[in-house]
Chain A
Amino acid sequence: MHPSSFEYFAPTKMKEALELLSKYGEEAKIMAGGQSLIPLLKLRIAAYSYIIDISRVEGLNKIRETGDFLEIGALTTVNELEENELVKEKYRILHEAAVQIADPLVRNRGTVGGNISHGDPSNDLPAVAIATKAKLEIVGKKGKRLVDADSFITDSFTTSLEEGEILGKILLPIPKVSSGGCYIKQKKSAGDFSVAAVAVNLVLAEDETIKSAGIGLTSVAPKPTRANKAERYIEGKKIYDSVAREAARIIVSEAEPSTDFYGSADYKRKVLGRIAEEAINLAFERGLVR
């Protein structure tokens, strides 16, 4: 199908984008890569009178380390993450998630900010943000505010962005020595959404026990979810097979998958249990490498 008519703006300054957004309010929608929004418009599932295309806004496509954080501009494309040497080397959890998103065509246009702010429980980067305990910088007319990744997506396709706000940057804590992370995703076929996916980020103490654990889940609940109980269970422990297995069991108990086209809830739990156990073991192994 074809979208209903809309007025299109392509501001180059954040200020202009914010002005347009506050002027048109709920009738306006921010578009970055358009990889989720355009299909919705074409199927006329969504219709907006004003589309504000922020892809030309300056200064929002950088990937760089500043202070304690890796700063990723919201307009960074997934492909730029995929190709970035720093990300490849030091942020494997992020890189592994990026390379598994959809297909190259989508990754070339889809942005990091869009992947997160769309609020799709099947999108991959929110779980990575949760596992790494990332912060999100939100820009509004009144200025900037920082929120935890956990509290950003509040429900399926719903975020805590207030009217007139735009997601500006994603701030990932720079990994400590002795930390390891990974992203494991199981999908039916290439380019598809996942049946289930797990992001695990572990920080190890001197004695190889887990000092801090971050576990984010994709596609197994109405929104991207932190596996709180499993994190607490493994913190302070060394990872043995039995610990990883028990942690995976807890993760499965924390998930709320629903039966849908990708499989029954029961099947998703089985898949989640297997990949969660594997992910915990893998993240731990990576953390041991100094």
Chain B
Amino acid sequence: MPTINWNDRELEYDSSRFVKGTGHFVDDIKIQGMLFMTVLRSPYARARIISLKGGISSKDLGAKIASVGEGASEGEASSVEPIFASGFVNYVGQPVAAVFAEDRYKSEDLLDSVEVDYEPLKPVVTIDEALSSPPIHKGMKSNILSEAVKGQDFSDPSSPIVLEDTLENNRISTNPIEPRGLVASFEGGVLNVWASTQAVHSVKNGLAETLGLSKDKVRVMQADTGGAFGSKGGIYPEYAIASFASMKYGKPVKWIETRREHLTSTNPGRGVRGKMKIFSEKNGKITGMKGEIMVDAGAYGSGSGGFSVPFIESMMTGAYAIEKAFVTGKALLTNKVPQGPYRGAGRPEASFFIERMLDLLADEMKMDPADVRLLNMSDKPFNSPLGMKIDAARPFFETAVRELEYRREAKLAKGVGLSFFVLVPGTYTGESARMIVKDGKIGVWLGGNSHGQGHETFIRKLINEELDVSKELVTVYRGDTSVTKDGEGAWGSRSAILIGAAIVAICKKLRTEVEKEFGSYSSESLLSRDHDEYVFDEKPFSLTSFGANLATVEIGRFGNVRVKKCNAYYDVGRALNREMVLGQIHGGMAQGIGQTLHEGLFYSEDGQLITSSISDAGVPLAEDLPNFGVKIAENRSSLPHGAKGLGEAPTIGVPTALIRAVEKASGKRLRKTPVMPEDLIE
């Protein structure tokens, strides 16, 4: 173990340290002799590398990145991202070489010592260009990374109403307040890595596989992680480079991403287009849906582009009882940074496509959008033709309409939007937890790692409920692969469900052990002995839940939208902690508003990123947000602790309600996010 300036006490989760400014993030790690890494990145979206001199590059490390973590997907071999660009560069920001020095200034100075000659090539920037251009990778027949189909094809019925539209969610940066970063230190034959991450095991497995190391020779520890939103679930080229360099130089290596690097080189989310066709009876009852989706996967399959297609497809009937549905989809390679998960990760896209069509149908029928939705819901559980199992939607929606006071709002204002969705949490493959009872205290380690959600709060609560141990005696530690044998990660609205279930399972085991030894259970008896329990709790089923949003807006004379109301009614299962639930919803609603009205990554025709600052990328500001109105339904799940998923609900439900509100206020049909002011004025 290298010497670092943390003591064990500081490795605990205790959220008050964030308020006090005493958190310990990757960049706070300082080790004697540590090198700082700077990455030389491609200035071109597509070019041939004619010559390259200096730094470490593909000639030193020729491996390709292993795809692990949330939404990991595999494509053809030629679409797998090399750690360093080799022969060609395929997106602006792609790592070409790396340089190292004892501090950041000197390390950045060394960028000038690397000489690269490029022969720029015409890049493939858009989905349409990807479809019509020769493949960007040699050895592939086209720019199709992957294809998937869901449902059974059917011949178009002779329906009285057939509506078609093409809808799109632009790419969006995840933009956590802390960008990516890690420290790698190879000592005594073991690669130690401290990372800002959602998933220590994904980073470990990815590094071991990429660098050809045995898994027991890689240890990954989580530093405090200042947000992630999907972008820190797996590994990236930089992680492998820093690790490789720590082995090569025999020194610890730190890499901290700049904001500009984050915008060019961290997997962004969304970037999906859907062509929708719905068939309806005269009364507005939808009888069939056909869809075709295109995912802008970026230059390599290392992101989640390939995974996105079938996942989005499976949710494209939304909460509605549509009997016939058939969706085809492609993930397409473009000369842009690989696409990845962003809060919702396919769920908001699927919901956007179907909800926009429900609103279109309402307009076509001159019906209220709530009534069209009601007409298309089942009052019994429904198995969709695309493979989604949902509970009875109608009773929840009827309550939601009342709780959100939608009918009243719709009479009062012109710009009102209502949305409804099913949240499908990512429960695959389960999650791990370890609990050690020693010296009268309990320590907890998790396979899925908090990146700002505050897991420690609900874990302490559950342990208190199950084992009657006071919260002060329970310490939740940051993720560490040497403590938990296995683990997935904190993503996909899963943590309260899976970590909660794992904790409850361990508590039950401990209780039984204590009862066996002492005849009956007491916390004193528990704490008087040492215990060490580990579970990997597998949940083969998915716990879906419903949610609805209401938004109202006014539009200024320059097309600037003022969000007046942004309200939610979500089924969160049992709320393990009400304040934390509200915090999650507020943050997610801000991001939903961001996606709808402000945020996007835009590229020029030659594939250069136009939105290269956090301001240009459109992260919403305080003045862009209204006071949120949140109501929660607590319909307990079948799990012992009653939890359901939550994290991604607002980024699914807000964009669809808000864009409808803007559509009503402007009188213009809106098909893509973000909505620009100029879309709204004459």
Contact = CB atoms under 8 A, between A and B. Distances in A.
Contacts, number: 50
A142 interface: no
Given A261-B610, A267-B677, A274-B558, A191 B621 contact: yes
Query: In the complex, which range does the number of interface residues on chain A fall in?
Result: 20 to 34
A4 B678 CA distance: 40
Interface in B354-402: none
A88 B409 CA distance: 42
Contacts of B623: 189-190
Interface string B340-366: 000000000000000000000000000
B108 interface: yes
A189 B678 contact: no
A188 B677 contact: yes
B557 interface: yes
Nearest to B261: A1
B108 A2 contact: yes
A189 B598 contact: yes
Contacts of A189: 598, 615, 618, 621, 623-624
Contacts of B63: none
Contacts of A191: 615, 621
A195 B560 CA distance: 12
B517 interface: no
B109 interface: yes
Interface in B56-111: 104-105, 108-109
Q: Is the interface of B mostly helix, strand, loop or mixed?
A: loop
Q: Taking each of B109, B598, B610, B677, which has the highest tally of chain A beta carbons within 10 Å of its own beta carbon?
A: B677
A271 interface: yes
Interface in A37-73: 43-44
Contact of B108 (A44, A190, A192, A267): A44
Which has the most chain A C-beta neighbours within 10 Å: B610, B621, B678? B678
B628 interface: no
A186 B677 CA distance: 12
B680 to A, nearest CB: 10
A1 B624 contact: no
A1 B260 contact: yes
Nearest to A39: B613
A197 to B, nearest CB: 12
A1 B681 contact: no
Interface residue SS majority, chain A: loop
Given A188-B677, A195-B558, A261-B610, A1 B621 contact: no
B258 interface: yes
Contacts of A192: 615
A100 to B, nearest CB: 14
Interface string B670-682: 0000001110010
Contact of A274 (B557, B611, B678): B557
A267 B104 contact: no
A261 B263 CA distance: 15
B331 to A, nearest CB: 27
B364 to A, nearest CB: 30
Nearest to A260: B610
A163 B610 CA distance: 33
Contacts of B521: none
Interface in A237-290: 260-261, 263-264, 266-267, 270-271, 274
Contact of A5 (B109, B558, B624): B109
Contacts of A260: 610
B104 A2 contact: yes
B621 to A, nearest CB: 5
Contacts of A3: 105
A260 B604 CA distance: 10
B681 A190 contact: no
Contact of A43 (B260, B610, B624, B677): B260
B109 A270 contact: no
B611 A1 contact: no
Interface string A1-41: 11111000000000000000000000000000000000000
A186 to B, nearest CB: 5
A270 B560 CA distance: 13
Interface in A179-214: 186, 188-192, 195
A189 B620 CA distance: 9
A267 B598 contact: no
Interface in B601-631: 602, 610-611, 615-616, 618, 621, 623-624
B38 to A, nearest CB: 8
A198 to B, nearest CB: 13
Given A4-B109, A263-B677, A271 B558 contact: yes
A266 B610 CA distance: 19
B260 A261 contact: no
Contacts of A271: 558
A271 B557 CA distance: 9
Interface string B104-135: 11001100000000000000000000000000
B108 A4 contact: yes
A264 B678 contact: yes
A267 B624 contact: no
B12 to A, nearest CB: 32
B504 to A, nearest CB: 45
Given A267-B677, A267-B681, 20 more contacts: A1-B258, A1-B260, A2-B104, A2-B108, A43-B260, A188-B598, A188-B677, A189-B598, A189-B618, A189-B624, A190-B623, A192-B615, A195-B558, A261-B602, A261-B610, A261-B611, A263-B677, A264-B678, A270-B681, A271-B558
28 contacts: A1-B260, A2-B104, A2-B105, A2-B108, A4-B105, A4-B108, A5-B105, A43-B260, A188-B560, A188-B598, A188-B677, A189-B598, A189-B615, A189-B618, A189-B624, A190-B621, A192-B615, A195-B677, A260-B610, A261-B616, A263-B677, A264-B678, A267-B559, A267-B678, A267-B681, A270-B681, A271-B558, A274-B558
Interface of B: 104-105, 108-109, 258, 260, 557-560, 598, 602, 610-611, 615-616, 618, 621, 623-624, 676-678, 681
4 closest Cβ pairs, A-B complex: A267-B678, A2-B105, A190-B623, A2-B104
